[in-house]
Structure 1
């Protein structure tokens, strides 16, 4: 049963521009249609929000705001966003139409993929996510249904940045919900938060599924799946597909670490890890066929209908063919005149024959003119993706088209091969028109500039202008280089690195200066001496008891003991003395020497014991400060023991 026939939007025109032709798919937030932009005469995908959500003003505002943000994310592996608008109760998003299928369709047909195919799909997905992560977006719902594989081999990620609505009417046991929770990171479940590492986790689960044909966590309810995400590690793919290499097991384990800190920081980092794994694998390992893999023998497997259908036929069912023969009304036959003119065969006059011939010629000419205006002067752009520049130019020139070449960096397409074209494959361009092809220069590269001797602020600007980021700033003494000027960088100047690579900078602290010892000096004298040496002075709010006079400097940081040096402009912190702390002396007369010493030391005093020269006893007869009197904390109390002659 064709459900599109029951959809009231099919056949309608939204916003006086987008003619809805067929329904492609239905999701929890919106329905996706194939449509035609009647202004630009191009096929696109139209995503129309469900009207139950369109009545929520806050949700619509967020939908529009995020759609505008994603529209600025231009990347070859991201489904493009063209337009956004509303028509009555219909809030829509006009997007790039990808003719092909989803990764979910591939997995349904093939069961599992050999590692080379899995990495061929994973890498462009990570490139798309990496671009989004560096632009501040998080996908939040990565799964095979959102990975589109075009008929031309391109891999694109759909539904970037669009918030998933919580539908209170959706049963928690539906396959859709269960399919979504299969890719949720533990922190999304526990805290409801999602940063780039949540997308990394989902990609790890997708890689596991491509290698084994199964999701890592199963269960009859979402709750069971969620529990496993929180409490069980994703098993190694080789446990289910023994031919999977250990390096791929490690890649899946890293991407799906339950603790977010254990995963790569974003998709760019995971892409680098995936490429390293690919480089480490042999051809036999890359082409190993997993036990779950099967040949897609379903009807029409080579040209199957999927949620992303192939392009519509050249002639629209709702329009007349462009090259039809026009029907012309012949002029009325002139009245017969007796006795004039010769007649041809069948009694028709020579004038009648001429008239008919003229009408037929006119009809043919008019039909040809209509065909030329509508189609004859246009050429369909042939696909040139991943061809070398020479191959692409030859193919386009062979179609009668001019070529313009633009060089771009690409993380996915090898150097010298075509990333894409504008107009795209299958689009019509006027004969002798120009097609712009984008040729890969390979992964983007940035050269570390020479900033030695520059002021730090200027050096940071130059490094950022090259597309690099600022790493650690390390300060070192230098007698030759002015303070706050650059001594060196790591990587060194002239090195070529990927954009966003951090560059550490070593900056001069200037000539080292001995820090004077100002402990015991008055605060004013200490401040003056330090400032004369070029230091800044900070007085700590909290004061301490010390042996130094009250109001003088009790401690300083850094110390001035000669082991530490400072730089001009460094800050020295001073702690002011509250004077000596007076505490009460305990009465220890009559105690044994050991007990008296323990009690005095416990109170904070030092103890000196004097014994008799002859017949010394063990009891305290006298103490230098009487019990109950006060003495400075840390001072020495002398105790005398009973005995003979002292």
Structure 2
């Protein structure tokens, strides 16, 4: 089959090289153009927001309102072209009622005209309870009142021989009274007595010692009656004291006295027996039996003697039972038995038969043994 003549194909004209290069060059700048448009839009938005948030008016300086009464602060705020707004009330120990104790913004900051300043107002000084300072020293009373936000007022000296000098006796207002903080409390302080020392009561009659102690404003403690002893001081005579003479006495310290109970009563003499005319044998049968010879276990009752003995009682920090016992041929008997802190010297008259020993017991334990 014969084919007819072919039609020649039309070729599209090729774009010129310069035109292709020009089209590619323009498209390469599209991202940069978009980024620039976005940046301009962000700048416009930020500017609008800043203009919307920024207060209108010229800048002014915030005045200091703290420590100023509210009505005076209002006048100052008006002249400074700012406003005031109370945001809180609070008690304050130093600011009276309706005085400004806080502000925001602080004084000296720059703000626009019309800015509102937040302030805190004082509700005044709070009430506090007056502490009890009785029986305290003046120094401790001042410290206690200071911790309670109170001050010392008038200090009055009052003579009182039973109280240590400087001790608080009374106060006004009374303890636990509600008063404003910073109030003054008047106190009354004891001038006290001069330092006193224990006088020597040994050898005096009890009635005389009581009178002397009362005149010297010295308190007497217990009176201990000593056991009956041959050759003892007359009844009612003081033979010992605690504390010993010359000891410095504290406030309200008392002196204990040991008082003699005297000696035993003398026996009534018996009538002299009439000697009968019996035979020598009968006389021999009626003669007394010989006494046993003395030994270390059974000392001889012979050699009875009277002596004055000074007994130093051991000193202890706390009162303890102290007992002094005389051991001689006649047996054992107690010379002193009392609860005491010791440190005193007892002077007693003792009658000793044969060899004797003076034993001192403290709290039931033998501490000294002195042969006589």
User: TM class, shorter-chain normalised?
Assistant: 0.3 to 0.5
TM-score of the aligned structures, taking structure 1 as reference length: 0.23
The structure with the largest strand share of the pair is 2
Structure number with higher relative contact order (C-alpha < 8 Å, ≥ 6 residues apart): 2
User: Is the helix fraction higher in 1 or 2?
Assistant: 1
Mark the structure with the bigger radius of gyration.
2
